[in-house]
C-alpha cells in the first residue's frame, strides 16, 4: 500500500481500477481475456466476498484461458506460435465476452464514481462507432 494512504483510499482506488477495466472491456478498448485476468487479480484488493458472483465470472475466464498467450505473456511466444493459437484465442474471446458482459456492467455500476457512472454506457453493444454518426 502507498505510504500516507489509508486502507479505505487504497480499496477505493482498486475499485475504480476494476470499474475502468470493466468499462474498457465493454467498449472493446482492452482485450476481454487480458482485462478479465486483471479484474480477477484485483478481486482480492477490493474487499468483496470470496464467492462474489460478479468476480467469479472473471475467475472462470482466467482459469479456462490460462494456457493461452494473453497480455504481456504473449510477448514470450513466437509469431508462429501466436498465429497457431489465434483461432483458439478468437473463440475464447467470443466465449469470454458472453461470460463477463453482464458482470462488467454490474462492476461498473458498483464501483464507478457517481460522475463516471453517469457518463458511462453500461449497455453492452456490438458496435460502438456507427451510433455516434448522424
Question: How many other CB atoms are found less than 10 A from the CB of residue 18?
Answer: 26
Kindly list the domain boundaries of the chain, sorted by start residue: 7-123
- What is the C-alpha separation between 62 and 40, in angstroms, rounded? 7
The whole-number average pLDDT for the span 83-107 is: 97
For 23-69, the pLDDT digits (tens) are 999 999 999 999 999 999 999 999 999 899 999 999 999 999 999 99
Q: What is the CA radius of gyration of the chain?
A: 16
Amino acid at each position: 500500500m502507498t505510504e500516507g494512504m489509508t486502507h479505505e483510499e487504497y480499496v477505493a482506488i482498486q475499485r475504480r481500477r476494476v470499474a475502468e477495466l470493466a468499462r474498457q472491456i465493454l467498449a472493446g478498448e482492452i482485450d476481454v481475456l487480458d482485462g478479465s485476468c486483471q479484474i480477477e487479480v484485483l478481486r482480492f484488493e477490493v474487499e468483496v466476498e470470496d464467492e462474489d458472483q460478479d468476480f467469479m465470472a472473471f475467475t472462470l475466464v482466467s482459469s479456462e484461458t490460462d494456457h493461452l498467450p494473453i497480455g504481456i505473456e504473449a510477448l514470450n511466444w513466437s509469431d508462429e506460435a501466436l498465429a497457431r493459437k489465434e483461432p483458439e484465442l478468437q473463440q475464447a474471446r467470443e466465449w469470454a465476452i458472453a461470460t463477463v458482459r453482464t458482470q462488467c456492467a454490474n462492476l461498473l455500476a458498483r464501483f464507478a464514481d457517481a460522475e463516471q457512472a453517469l457518463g458511462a454506457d453500461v449497455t453492452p453493444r456490438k458496435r460502438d462507432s456507427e451510433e455516434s454518426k448522424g
